[in-house]
Amino acid sequence: MSGEFTFIDWIRGQTRPNTRVLIGPGDDCAALSPGRSPWLITTDMLMDGTDFVLAEVGPHRVGLKAMAVNLSDLAAMAGRPVGVVVSVALPRGDDTLGRDLYHGLREMADSFGVPIVGGDTNSWAGPLVISVTAFGEAERPVRRNGAKPGDWLFVTGPLGGSILGHHLDFTPRIAEALRLHETVDLHAMIDISDGLSADLHHILEESRCGAVLHAEAIPIAEAARQLTQQSSKTPLEHALGDGEDFELVFAVSPEDGEKLLREPPVQVWKIGECVADGYWIEEQKNRRPLVPTGWVHSL
């Protein structure tokens, strides 16, 4: 972790004590107390012009998003966040960019009590690049491969149209994942980053089963409806295909599914069931094949 300047000074100045942080920024590595559960590790890199447009959204919201997308990956496995490290390449010549970016990162991390334990701050002639690595713990991590035919499928929130703002302002479903994990046996789970149809397809591939979604049951975000005014798609198509909702989609047994409908520990929507084979959407009793193409990173 060489080349630090401002970030490390700011991190050192953080006041909230954290019992897990044995050694914080200032040595060559951070050190955390071990714990008893498996470590979870995830990393995501965001680049100006690809994952955000810095000139439009500003560095604070980029910081929020860079932190949140990583915490969302921990949520997808029902992990408790333990800490993060942050690497950045800052475009030269903007004195306040690093500070505002850091404040966004800290705001999101603080809202989950997660310490930023280290980083690597660089400047260069290129556009802003930020890479966050988050680590957490889960005694029983929830994977993608445990869904079974007959399982019920749920999502934690309305979907589609996140490009209008939600992709920058979402709340990673850490708390929801932990509550669900306490309440029911989560057979498989993923966070929706590439789009419902694409990410659910990852679960189906890993679990070697199929699914039927009920079009009328899929919760559609207001933004998805707004977006139809400027797109050639229906609200449902936006809900199925748009990326970066960062809600969770998960599979549970029918018994657990009924329990969730009866006494929901957090807001959930039942959207379909797992079947032995195929990938289908049912609309007014008509079943047609569903294509697992979600949002694709602009290339």
Which residue, 131 or 239, is less far from a copy of itself as judged by CB? 131
Contact 154, 264 (CB under 8 A): no
Is 8 a binder of a copy of itself (CB under 8 A)? no
Is 28 a binder of a copy of itself (CB under 8 A)? yes
**Is 279 annotated as a binding-site member?**
no
The two tokens of residue 32 are 């955390």
Amino acid at position 193, single letter: S
Grouping H, G, I as helix, E, B as strand and the rest as coil, residue 110 is helix
Half-sphere exposure (CA, 13 Å, Cβ side) for 164?
15
**Is 56 annotated as a binding-site member?**
no
Residue 199 CA to residue 242 CA, distance in Å, equals 11
Residue among 53, 107, 113, 127 that touches a copy of itself (CB under 8 A): 127
Residue 135 CA to residue 71 CA, distance in Å, equals 9
The two tokens of residue 162 are 């996140």
Contact 156, 170 (CB under 8 A): no
Give the other-Cβ count within 10 Å of 247's Cβ: 27
The stretch near a copy of itself (CB under 8 A) out of 25-33, 152-160, 210-218, 226-234 is 25-33
| Four-point Cα dihedral 152, 156, 162, 168, nearest 10 | -140
Amino acid at position 258, single letter: E
**Is 293 annotated as a binding-site member?**
no
Residue 8 CA to residue 26 CA, distance in Å, equals 7
Is 43 a binder of a copy of itself (CB under 8 A)? yes
Contact 214, 272 (CB under 8 A): yes
The two tokens of residue 170 are 């979402």
Amino acid at position 146, single letter: G
How many residues at the interface with a copy of itself, by CB under 8 A?
68
Q: Which of residues 50-69 bind a copy of itself (CB under 8 A)?
A: 50, 69
**Is 144 annotated as a binding-site member?**
yes
The residue assigned the tokens 């966070």 is 191
**Residue from 224, 65, 217 nearest 159 by CA:** 224
The two tokens of residue 195 are 């789009």
Is 26 a binder of a copy of itself (CB under 8 A)? yes
**Is 102 annotated as a binding-site member?**
yes
Site map (CB under 8 A) of a copy of itself, residues 209-238, x = contact: ------------------------------
**Residue from 252, 253, 240, 243 nearest 289 by CA:** 240
Residue among 6, 12, 16, 22 that touches a copy of itself (CB under 8 A): 22
Is 33 a binder of a copy of itself (CB under 8 A)? yes
Distance of closest approach, residue 222 Cβ to a copy of itself, in angstroms: 24
Which residue, 138 or 271, is less far from a copy of itself as judged by CB? 138
Is 292 a binder of a copy of itself (CB under 8 A)? no
Is 191 a binder of a copy of itself (CB under 8 A)? yes
Site map (CB under 8 A) of a copy of itself, residues 77-116, x = contact: x-x---x-xxxxx--x------------------------
Is 194 a binder of a copy of itself (CB under 8 A)? yes
Binding-site residues for ATP sit at 102, 119-120, 144, 193
Binding-site residues for Mg(2+) sit at 28, 42-44, 73, 120, 191, 194
Binding-site residues for substrate sit at 51, 244, 295
Q: Please give the residue ranges that form the binding site for a copy of itself (CB under 8 A).
A: 1-3, 22-23, 26-45, 47, 49-50, 69, 73-74, 76-77, 79, 83, 85-89, 92, 117-120, 122-127, 129, 131, 133, 135-138, 141, 143-144, 190-191, 193-194, 206, 297, 299
